[in-house]
Structure 1
Amino acid sequence: MIEEFVKNFKELRIKDVESVGGKNASLGEMIRNLYEKGVSVPGGFAVTAYAYKYTMEEAGIDQEIEQILSDLDTRDVHNLAERGEKIRKIIKNTPLPDEVAEEIKKHYKQMEQEYGENVDVAVRSSATAEDLPDASFAGQQETYLNVQGEAELLEKVRECFASLFTNRAISYREDKGFDHFSVYLSVGIQKMVRSDLASSGVIFSIDTESGFQDAVYITGAYGLGENVVQGAVNPDQFYVYKPTLKKGFRPILEKKLGSKEQRMIYGEKGTIQEQVSEEDKNQYVINDNEILTLAKWAMIIEDHYGKP
């Protein structure tokens, strides 16, 4: 099998986790299978774990990183931070091999043809590991929003590669006894949705606190979704009852108004935070029709995967 540096989301399925990580594999799975059922997922592409491995091998920096990590005591947080910073600097300053950079630029140009010049994208890390079934790398690496143009995109891909060695990620692997060089990084490049002009949030097809499987649980706040994901705001919360939604009813069980103090919006470069007005704080970020549409999408996704 010929290894590829970049794959369009449309080429990916959930079985591609080893190549592109869980996040990117799931996006591809939904784009391929759920679009016709009404679930809308923004397009994009994944820089594969092989591209990361190839970049590291071509640069020949594994030994240098190994040296920096030798005799590391993760309980010494200052020393951990110093070593982590040193490793990240090395990787950020390592140019992408021409073959990798050209593939990324080619796929970004295809996105520009679809969405316009200097299309704004989210650049998200998606870690993957071979032969480490017990590993959980969620939230350990970086995400960059409102990235525009080829030069900034290539820079952010390198920064994502470097984020495989955040202090938290180094500490996790050391404490779990995982080999730092058996874990790889894929990068997802996805068209941004202008939720900074409206709202965003997270949906679960189960009540996460009680484990009750007949409810869809939705959170929402103004602006880009990172504030909700990172717990930086107190979002609105909504519960929908699945059995009667399936029968065509409008079963919103509960709505809780969150304080929603701030919103993340586009800045000149990247993103900025702004305060939310009192009037907006006292309104729900989505209406009942939108709540029910989101709940239906959650149920379609749950049915496809066969689990909450």
Structure 2
Amino acid sequence: MGICDGRTVIITGAARGLGRAYALAFAAEGANVVANDIGTSLGGEGRDTSAADQVVAEIKAAGGTAIANYEDITDWDAAKRIVDATVAAFGGLDVVVNNAGIVRDRMFVSATPEEWDATMHVHLRGHFCLSRHAVDHWRARQKAGDAVDARIINTTSGAGLQGSIAQAAYSTAKGGIAALTLVQAAELGRYGITANALAPSARTRMTEQAFAEKMATEGQTFDTMDPANIAPTVVWLGSAQSAHVTGCVFELEGGRIMLEDGWREGPVVDAGKRWAPADVGAAVDGLLAERIAPRKVWGTA
């Protein structure tokens, strides 16, 4: 008996890296896994349905239960077909793990509209379409009198939480996902749905290129960048045990679980009247002197 025994989970981008680690871990804890992946390149080009087939075969070989799915999460109708196929195969749906994403690294001064739109499309629209159809399914179940204990697990990033040089589009999309998570948590609790987000740090196709030195394993007794290190927290968030946790963003790396503190009100000064423009500078300087120093944007000195 695992902590997700009998629960059904859709994982997007499930064929490689973090998604594959999540799929294997959920299956090992008794979940029915729908491994969704269209098998694109890191930049989002091309298709390869065998990628999803491989992780499903691996789950089944280990005694788990899984099906592959090759639908495009950014397509509204296709996203509904993912939910419908899941319900048809397993009789229901309990967890959506929005993991799929692409990256188009580019300094802002060189960014193109096409790269910007592609990044927003996969990350933001992809998170929206599948989750929206899943929520329709869960609301219908609740209206029918079923007890709903559902989970949305989104994927943000350190880049989205603090910014990253040469990743304006990616950082913007991931920051938007963090904000989306807060809204989902606030709105969907009444239906028995929680929403949380992850900012995982692990070895993937994306990070191996951007952070090759950090991803290296030479001389390590514990491989902190193994994607499998992230999976236990994701599986727990998908379990019935996490019903009391919603609206949180967790930064995960190796054996570390860090709860993000988020934007909150900082130092304040109130003149009690309209400011004169010439006086604003001194007031802002005073606020800057009082604030807690923010984390630096990735890639800055």
TM-score by structure 1 length? 0.25
TM-score w.r.t. length of structure 2: 0.25
> Which has the larger strand fraction?
1
